[in-house]
Amino acid sequence: MTEPIDGAAPLRVTALHDRHAALGASFTDFGGWSMPVRYTSDLAEHHAVRTAAGLFDISHMAQFVVTGEEREAFLAYALAFDPTKLALSKAKYTMILAPTGGIIDDLIVTRNADDQFLIVANAGNRDAVRTALADRIEGFNAQVTETDAALIAVQGPRAQEILEATTSLVHDDALAMGHTLDSLPYYTAMGMRFGGGAVLVSRTGYTGEDGFELSVDAADACALWDAVRAAGEPFGLVPAGLAARDTLRLEAGMPLYGHELSLDIVPAQAGLGRVVPLKTKEADFVGRSALASVVASDAPVLVALVADGRRAGRAGYAVLSVDGEQVGEITSGALSPTLGHPVAMAFVAPSASEPGTELFIDVRGNRIPATVTTLPFYKRNAK
């Protein structure tokens, strides 16, 4: 734990905290955790991920293991997805909804063994997700166990080469679930061996680049971090903090809870109606009944905005029509390091949501012209 500030609860630290401090990281409070916001330069770390690779500590995220004979029935009720359609080693982006249809959190669920699932939730929603799962498991022969495993992400076009060069991270047929790093598809996981323990390696990420997320026992986290750093140095790998992670995910059009997602937003408003299987899933999951009628015709919807110049709209800035009427609000915005111009996501009135619509962003009293476009702003070249 780090020291409390002004009487607040002490911040939690990950198993890698001392590694970050030794690298000279600047820290910030993120979801109650002391996390590295940058090591050297936001821009340098961002560009490294786009051109080579970045190494992230994402151990602040919550991990829950679901087991028991009725694990699938429980998940079908508790979450907005159909676990029976998730094959061994496959991962799925989904959500846990409130009875009102609002979003408690967005999640990644992986069938990481024949008899269990792994749920990864956002750090700031750890307590809310834990409580919702505990409430919803009543009556099911299933168990939810929160783990203290660390999570390390290697993201960028050279990520696979770096993991293949990490000599202490080795293939093990008994853990691999039929995959190799080279054959591993997107949103699929495999087990590997590191030292005496197992590591779950998932081809997932939050940057818009190819990459992997490694779930490892907290006791082995520092050794794995050091091994990946050493292997990645010749490839241009750099440690990267939350600031770069935020601009990377924004360019990739990926939502951030508390900005694009919240209890006041239903999936369809955020352009994520496809994630919720209303037409295909038979189970009556929590929130389903509300989704059929909860969205009013004038409810704000999420759009992408691009602008010229260098002045970017930030979260909370007003979005105006050509007549000067406020039609929405920015949820995330930045000067895109990759594209060189401002980009933003915003909730606006449906009447202002069509691609090509000309709007303005109120940047500290200055009206900056912006145009509605489609997400993502940036898309990597496929392999």
The CATH number given to whatever domain includes residue 137 is 3.30.70.1400
Reported as a single tens digit per residue, the pLDDT across 56-114 is: 999 999 999 999 999 999 999 999 999 999 999 999 999 999 999 999 999 999 999 99
Phi-psi group of 7: left, alpha or beta (phi > 0 → left; psi -120 to 50 → alpha; rest → beta): left
* Residue 379 within any structural domain of the chain: no
Q: Is pLDDT of 5 > 50?
A: no
At residue 47 the predicted structure's pLDDT band, cuts being 50, 70 and 90, is: very high
Give me the CATH number covering residue 171: 3.30.1360.120
44 plus 156 within the same structural domain: yes
Domain end point (choices 250, 282, 306): 250
* Residue 24 within any structural domain of the chain: yes
Residue type, 32: G
272 plus 352 within the same structural domain: yes
Taking the mean position of all CA atoms in its chain, how far away is CA 128?
Answer: 17
Instruction: Please give the backbone phi and psi of residue 239, each rounded to the nearest 5 degrees, phi first.
Output: -65, 140
Three-state secondary-structure class, residue 173:
coil
55 plus 167 within the same structural domain: yes
Q: Is pLDDT of 171 > 70?
A: yes
Total count of domains within the chain:
3
If you average pLDDT over every residue of the chain, what do you get? 95
158 plus 34 within the same structural domain: yes
> Across the chain, where does the E strand assignment appear?
26-30, 33-38, 53-57, 62-67, 91-97, 103-113, 116-121, 143-146, 150-155, 169-171, 189-194, 197-202, 211-216, 237-239, 301-307, 318-320, 326-335, 342-348, 358-363, 366-373
Reported as a single tens digit per residue, the pLDDT across 129-148 is: 999 999 999 999 999 999 99
Nearest to 246 by CA among 207, 303, 296: 207
* Residue 137 within any structural domain of the chain: yes
Classify residue 185 by burial, with Cβ atoms within 10 Å: 0-12, 13-18, 19+: exposed
160 plus 39 within the same structural domain: yes
Domain end point (choices 250, 269, 301): 250
For 205, residues 6+ apart whose C-beta sits below 8 A from its C-beta are 153, 155, 211, 212, 213
Q: What is the DSSP pairing of strand 326-335 with strand 342-348?
A: antiparallel
Q: Is pLDDT of 321 > 90?
A: yes
The C-alpha atoms of residue 118 and residue 105 are separated, in whole angstroms, by: 15
DSSP 324: S
Q: Is pLDDT of 7 > 70?
A: no
Provide the percentage of residues in the chain whose pLDDT is more than 90: 91
37 plus 156 within the same structural domain: yes
Question: pTM value?
Answer: 0.95
Both tokens assigned to 215: 């779930």
Reported as a single tens digit per residue, the pLDDT across 298-308 is: 899 999 999 99
161 plus 46 within the same structural domain: yes
Both tokens assigned to 261: 């997602």
* Residue 381 within any structural domain of the chain: no
Q: Identify the domain containing residue 239 by its residue range.
A: 17-59+149-250
271 plus 343 within the same structural domain: yes
pLDDT of residue 284: 87
pLDDT of residue 175: 97
Reported as a single tens digit per residue, the pLDDT across 348-361 is: 999 999 999 999 99
Give me the CATH number covering residue 309: 2.40.30.110
* Residue 91 within any structural domain of the chain: yes
Domain end point (choices 226, 250, 274): 250
